[in-house]
Structure 1
């Protein structure tokens, strides 16, 4: 008799296998990332059917196999169907799922990662879709929030409260229109600028001559304030946000930071770029 085990899992990736099967990559809190066969699901009358679609959370009964385990039973707990009904939501969901696929471990419990991903997918799905500027701004803000939290759980989130060179806390100065801070990807976060700074060159701290790093981009006060919201459990005052381009810049900065520190390209991010181009939002 085959050995069986139970697991709760969210489908993150699927690909055809053989004539009628599907190979699923599933994140579970109990066993981390698992790859299992869903037998016969590509047949019209399969009992598993929609339970193997992306972003569906199932209670699973799985039988051990020599090379790949197989799903015997699946009972759906929750299905984020709203993600597939909107291109922007779907792109954001796939973006977060791709990050998790590169982060999650196999054969190790991933409880915190599992619930964190589900929480951010739920928030994105529940955004009430509108065609106005604010809705699209909220979508990018929620995506950036999810990216930051996934980086934090990995222990590599950028420093957004204190200067990486001096260790001093940095507060956005909204009183000066030309006020800026630098952001260094290799140093790991924000940098206070002073007279030693050269645009698009390198930064060297006068009090610490051994600290030298490249500044990748400049952030104004509003952009820094958005970055500093990201560690919070929930974003504040989203209904009052008006700067779509500032949130886009924050997401693109987090994307470059993630790709550098995790050493892989985020392919799903292209879907977000395509989506933003299709809705043609301008400053």
Structure 2
């Protein structure tokens, strides 16, 4: 085994170690998730202090130790200083970094995960404040896709029929099943007496479904704008009309994807606690 190795990585987590050092969790392209000690990073005026900060991308030379690897040299490639300018951007970045840490593997390349995370951190950093939430949701979907369980959003996860938002019906809704893995077309259920399952028979959508087995699978409901927003997330870039969707629509989609991610990763997203405070009044 080599005594040293080189990798390009982004710092996703850090904690004090001893009096002067810092232990970093780093997502690297070449070696996946590693933990390494940044020696002297907490010393006053240490050159390693800035390079050991969160969301800093470094070209690293690392020495292999018996118990812990140590950073021998770090050349800063990118620092994402703009993420710290607002609480919303910082929270969104921490949210995506948590999702990356939940799925990152060690001792094997993680280039796709690294590149997608860095791309969406760039988008959050450069976004206008009013679009940060949309960028967060977009990044969340793409990280779920890399993990292998992006929700099925264009066709019903039960019937496999296309689910198409209908803005002409004021209270039109689609269902969503966390366990089932995607959207549910309510028209597959037993229709009410007039034969139209999406006609305005209910305020909350519950009464339009006649099949209790399907009803029990539904964890969330999406109105037409919310469905259109979640269906756009698979694209590389969000179109302007979707990007400018109402903040309330993006909050609904974020909460849905948050619950979906927490179910599939089987752990909470700690930074999500600040989402409502950051974005509710935008």
User: Is TM more than 0.5 here?
Assistant: yes
TM-score (norm 1): 0.89
Alignment match, 1:158: 151
* 1:263-278 matched pairs, under 5 angstroms: 263-276=266-279
- State the distance in 2 between where 1:217 and 1:41 align: 46
Pair 1:236 & 2:239 matched: yes
Alignment match, 1:50: 50
Alpha-carbon distance, 1:74 to partner: 0.5
Deviation track 1:120-174 (CA, whole Å, cap 9, x = no partner) reads 000000114xxxxxx43x1111100000000001110110000011101111111
**Match for residue 167 of structure 1 among 133, 150, 160:** 160
RMSD (Å), alpha carbons = 2.1
Cα contact 1:172–1:225 (8 A) shared by 2:
yes
- State the distance in 2 between where 1:203 and 1:103 align: 38
Residues 1:202 and 1:46: Cα distance change in structure 2 (over 3 Å): farther
Give unmatched runs, 5+ long, in structure 1: 129-134
**What SS does the aligned partner of 2:47 have?**
coil
Pair 1:196 & 2:190 matched: yes
- State the distance in 2 between where 1:246 and 1:175 align: 18
TM-score (norm 2): 0.89
- State the distance in 1 between where 2:229 and 2:216 align: 23
- State the distance in 2 between where 1:238 and 1:196 align: 34
* 1:191-270 matched pairs, under 5 angstroms: 191-194=184-187, 195-196=189-190, 199=206, 204=211, 213-238=216-241, 241-270=244-273
Alpha-carbon distance, 1:212 to partner: 7.3
**What SS does the aligned partner of 2:105 have?**
coil
Q: Between 160-169 and 268-277, report the one with greater CA deviation.
A: 268-277
Deviation track 1:42-86 (CA, whole Å, cap 9, x = no partner) reads 111322120000000000111010010000110001110000111
- State the distance in 2 between where 1:156 and 1:28 align: 22
Alignment match, 1:88: 88
**Match for residue 141 of structure 2 among 132, 144, 148:** 148
Residues 1:108 and 1:202: Cα distance change in structure 2 (over 3 Å): farther
Alignment match, 1:64: 64
Residues 1:23 and 1:234: Cα distance change in structure 2 (over 3 Å): same
Residues 1:87 and 1:246: Cα distance change in structure 2 (over 3 Å): same
Give unmatched runs, 5+ long, in structure 2: 192-204
Alpha-carbon distance, 1:271 to partner: 2.1
Alpha-carbon distance, 1:203 to partner: 7.3
Alpha-carbon distance, 1:200 to partner: 8.5
**What SS does the aligned partner of 2:57 have?**
strand
